[in-house]
Every structure is written in structure tokens, then in C-alpha cells.
């Protein structure tokens, strides 16, 4: 009982930090801060100001496909299970690239992108409240 309450509180605090940092980050990118409150829509907005929204739809489609394939992975040969893992890995690559694109959009490089991917609660706060300036979507010409 104690651990479930502790983990719930830690998860809530983590989410609050991510939303606060995202709110300020969105404002720096010229978006309304309230968009950080809506879970899937906020990711769409991040794709919009840092990369291309087409990749958001690819990521979302892969999420739905992976969910259904993973939930039906009780087949004899396990093909669906492994296919769901491969799709999950592709999703991971998309989100890694998104972290890199966000890092570039705020004038940072690969090391900041790694921090943004592995410690989003901290690095979104750094982007939101730090001296980072939004320099634009460097992928908008592609």
C-alpha cells in the first residue's frame, strides 16, 4: 500500500513538472501554454513546432497498431509479439529524433537532446525557464 501511494505521488509530481516546463516551452515557441495540458495534443504541438506533423501521425498510427498486435500476441508462432516489438522500436526512434529536433529548435545539440529524451521532466523545465530561445523549426523546409 505504501509503495503504490509513493509511486502515485512521484508520478503526479513528474507529470506536473513536465506540464509546467512544456507550458513555458510552448509559449517560447509561439504556442498557447494551455496546449501542454492535453496529453496527446501536446505531443502533436511539439511535432508541429520542431519537426513535421506527418511524423506525429506515423507515430500515432504505429502506437495503435502496436497496441492491437501486442494484445493479440497469444498466437502459436509469436509473430505478432515480435512485430509489436519492432514497431515499438520504430516508435522509440521517432521519439529520439523528436527530442533531437526539439533540441535543435531551441539552439542546442545532441547532448541536450539525450537529456531531453532520458530526463524530460528536468530538460523541459530547462527549456521553459532557462535562457534557451526558440530559433524555429529547422525541418520546415523538407
* pLDDT tens-digit series, residues 29-80: 999 999 999 999 999 999 999 999 999 999 999 999 888 877 766 655 677 7
In a domain, residue 124? The reply is yes
- Mean pLDDT over residues 125-142, rounded? 88
Please give the Cα distance from 104 to 50 (Å, whole number). Answer: 8
Q: Is residue 139 part of a domain?
A: no
- Domains held by the chain: number: 1
Asked if residue 141 belongs to a domain, the reply is no
Identify the domain containing residue 43 by its residue range: 2-129
Task: Tell me whether residue 8 is in a domain.
Answer: yes
Residue 136 lies inside a defined structural domain of this protein: no
Q: Is 134 a member of any domain?
A: no
Q: Whole-model pTM?
A: 0.87
Please check whether residue 95 lies inside any domain of the structure: yes
**Residue 19 is assigned to a structural domain of this protein:** yes
Q: What is the pLDDT of residue 108?
A: 96
Q: How far is CA 110 from CA 11, 18, 67, 82, 103, in A?
A: 27, 20, 30, 30, 7
Amino acid at each position: 500500500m505504501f509503495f503504490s501511494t509513493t509511486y502515485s505521488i512521484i508520478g503526479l509530481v513528474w507529470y506536473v513538472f513536465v506540464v509546467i516546463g512544456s507550458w513555458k516551452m510552448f509559449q517560447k515557441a509561439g504556442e498557447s501554454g494551455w496546449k501542454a495540458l492535453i496529453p496527446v495534443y501536446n505531443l502533436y504541438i511539439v511535432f508541429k513546432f520542431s519537426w513535421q506533423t506527418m511524423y506525429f501521425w506515423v507515430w500515432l498510427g504505429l502506437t495503435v497498431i502496436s497496441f492491437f498486435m501486442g494484445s493479440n500476441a497469444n498466437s502459436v508462432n509469436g509473430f505478432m509479439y515480435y512485430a509489436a516489438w519492432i514497431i515499438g522500436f520504430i516508435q522509440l526512434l521517432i521519439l529520439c529524433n523528436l527530442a533531437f529536433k526539439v533540441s535543435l529548435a531551441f539552439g542546442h545539440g545532441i547532448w541536450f537532446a539525450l537529456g531531453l529524451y532520458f530526463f524530460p521532466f528536468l530538460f523541459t523545465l530547462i527549456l521553459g525557464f532557462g535562457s534557451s530561445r526558440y530559433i524555429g523549426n529547422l525541418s520546415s523546409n523538407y
